[in-house]
Structure 1
Amino acid sequence: MPATAHPIADLYAEHHRWLRSWLRQKLGCSDHAADLAQDTFVRLLTQEQRGTPVEALRQPQAYLATVAHGLVVNHWRRLEIERAWLETLSSQPEPLAPSPEERTLLLEALCELDALLDRLNPKARSAFLMAQLEGLSYIEIAGHLGVSERMVKKYMAQAMLHCLQSGLAPA
């Protein structure tokens, strides 16, 4: 086989078919498997641009599977968010329903928010969501989480700082 100009091209040529097959088994859909296989190699290109050399991979299939698994989890999470969003929309009166463009933008924003909150400590995330979505007081949140009110204040400060640093200002 002739040498290619780029190590990722070699990796792609050697492992793309295997990765697509592996993803098809995980997802049960060859179209989604093909998309996520491509996304896996795009992720490798991005990582290489940030300084992670592909030549250093000792176990390329294990590495590809790890990257692809993360993309599968993100795919499932996005589908779950989309299902919940569509369910919420279906309960809205027609005049209040957003346009298709607004739906797409809102779904993207929900996915970004989910990813942002996923990077928080689980208790800080729970405290933030209970305060923002359920309107619970810090004392009520403390009871739910089994921590002190002071700890809830600390969790809320962490969550708000995290939101501000990411450019999202909580209400």
Structure 2
Amino acid sequence: MDTYTLDQQGDPKNQTIVYRDFAELYCQNINWLAPFIRKNVHNPSDAEDITQDVFERLIKKMSQQQTPQQITFSGNIRAFITTIAKGIIIDSWRRKELERQYLQYLTDLQEDDIVQDFDFTEIVDAIFILDQMLRALDDKVRYAFLLSHLYDKTYAEIAVQMDISERTVKAYMAKAMLHCMKMRSRLELDQ
């Protein structure tokens, strides 16, 4: 059973909710979440997958902070779950767009240019992960990183092109590499 505690002003948005376990958390919130996701994702199968992904992500986040005997949540639980759901929905839209663009790229290739032995899913997964990693970087850091890795520019050349010092380029590259290492660690933990 969940218990509700209102804040000092009696505001239900700032309530504390205690759930016995994740099953209760799921049962208390699935009835409003599933229709919300179905409204935003028109494929029923994708909507079901996203709904389960929301709870999986919620369980991961909360299990790092809670004891398995009870789950305490302070704040607006619906807003928190909705934020997670929106993030996953946006990721799924991005992924579908990347898939569409990659399929268009393959369609535009000449037959001689196509590699026959490839796993489409693995390639799209890699592109999606790279896209997420790059989007998380600051614009200048991302630009310096791409100049270095896609165009093989030296730090000195990047400094000239971006009109910054070489020391700043090194700092940007260090930030980008640290971010890559953190993301890789996170991906390894998820597997």
TM-score of the aligned structures, taking structure 1 as reference length: 0.75
- Structure that is richer in helix per residue: 1
Alignment partner of 1:28 is 2:42: yes
The SS at the match of 1:22 is: helix
In structure 2, what is the Cα distance between the partners aligned to 1:17 and 1:165?
35
Give 1:138's match in structure 2, choosing from 124, 146, 158: 158
Give SS of 1:55's match: strand
- 1:131 shift after superposition: 4.0
SS in 1 for 2:133: helix
User: Take 1:103 and 1:96, find their aligned partners in 2: how far apart are those partners?
Assistant: 16
Highest RCO, 1 vs 2 (Cα 8 Å, sep ≥ 6): 2
Distance 2:28 2:178 in 1: 44
Runs of 5+ unmatched residues, structure 1? none
Give the aligned CA root-mean-square deviation in angstroms.
3.0
Aligned-residue offset at 1:107: 1.2
Structure whose residues are more often strand by fraction: 2
The 2-side partners of 1:103 and 1:95 are apart by 18
Query: Which whole-Å deviations, capped at 9, do the CAs of 1:7-30 have from their partners, x for residues lacking one?
Result: 321122122121111112222333
The match for 1:148 is 164
From 38, 49, 55, the counterpart of 2:72: 55
Query: Which structure: larger Rg?
Result: 2
Which residue of the other structure, out of 86, 99, 108, is the alignment partner of 1:91? 108
Given the two structures, how large is their TM-score scaled by the length of structure 2?
0.68
Equivalent residue pairs, number: 161
Q: Is the 8 A contact 2:66 2:72 kept in 1?
A: no
Offset of residue 99 of structure 1: 4.7
Q: Structure 2: where are the runs of 5+ without partners?
A: 2-18, 185-191
Query: C-alpha distance in 2, partners of 1:42/1:165?
Result: 21
| 1:16 matched to 2:30 | yes
| Partner amino acid, structure 1, of 2:51 | A
How far residue 124 of structure 1 moved from its aligned partner, in angstroms, is 0.6
- Whether the 8 Å CA contact 2:147–2:158 is kept in 1: the answer is no
Residue type of the alignment partner of 1:148: I
SS across alignment from 2:72: helix
